[in-house]
Amino acid sequence: DNINILPIFSKNLHVEKVHKHSIEDLTASQLQLKQLCHSFNEIQPIGTLLGFCKTIDQANTLCKSFELVSHLNAHAVISITAARGRGKSAILGLIVSGAIAAGLSNIYVIAPGPENLVTFFEFVRKGLIGLGYNEKSDYNLLTSVRDNQKLITSIKITRNHRQNVQYIFPKEAASIHNAELIVCDEAAAIPLPYVKKLVGSHLLILSSTVNGYEGT
């Protein structure tokens, strides 16, 4: 199974692996990141969310993805690929917190299991807190227990209007209705027929590892 069929009609964002170069190269990369963050400093919510990015690749991916999200580019598919541990789930969380700030109401996230979304939900929360949202008064977390681990499965936002970020098991993807944004993390670990069902009249973001045992 290979989700690479999707970039035929999607916007493909490839997050390059960060290699260890010389100090001069690292400094140049940090400078690029600083300049990009500064250029968006007065533009919210992206200006705040960029502050959570650790690399220029993360920042560029966030900017390009949020551009489509903020314009609610229905039917578009964004593919984010990178090696394991490059911050893909963190970026997905920041994109979703930006989507909430932009007013999207119905957001669904798919992954092999809720335990795969710990980092994702962590950065949704970080983004919301950075944007001035307060737990309890502006949003509530819904959790479930799996293998004695308490996991976030949904965030209910009530600040301006009712908004929802909801985890859905892959096999339940066909039951999704009225979605504005669907996020699929670790797409390569989900059977292709389920992934195909995610394509529809909404924005879809796919994220996947490109090498190792989890690779596409």
How do the domains of the chain map onto residue ranges?
62-209
The CATH number assigned to the domain with range 62-209 reads 3.40.50.300
Find the mean pLDDT for residues 7-25. Answer: 50
Q: Give dist(CA 117, CA 96) in Å, integer.
A: 13
Contact 75, 198 (CB under 8 A): no
Q: How many percent of the chain have pLDDT more than 90?
A: 64
Considering only residues 71 and 45, tell me which one the structure prediction assigns the higher pLDDT: 45
Tokens matching residue 39: 């250029």
Whether omega before 45 lies within 30 degrees of 0, making that bond cis, reads yes
Quick one: pLDDT band at residue 74, thresholds 50, 70, 90?
confident
- In which band, very low, low, confident or very high, does the pLDDT at 7 lie, cut at 50, 70 and 90? very low
In which region does residue 65 sit, left (phi positive, over 0), alpha (psi from -120 to 50) or beta (all else)? alpha
Residues 77-136: tens digit of each pLDDT: 999 998 888 889 999 999 999 999 999 999 999 999 999 999 999 999 999 999 999 999
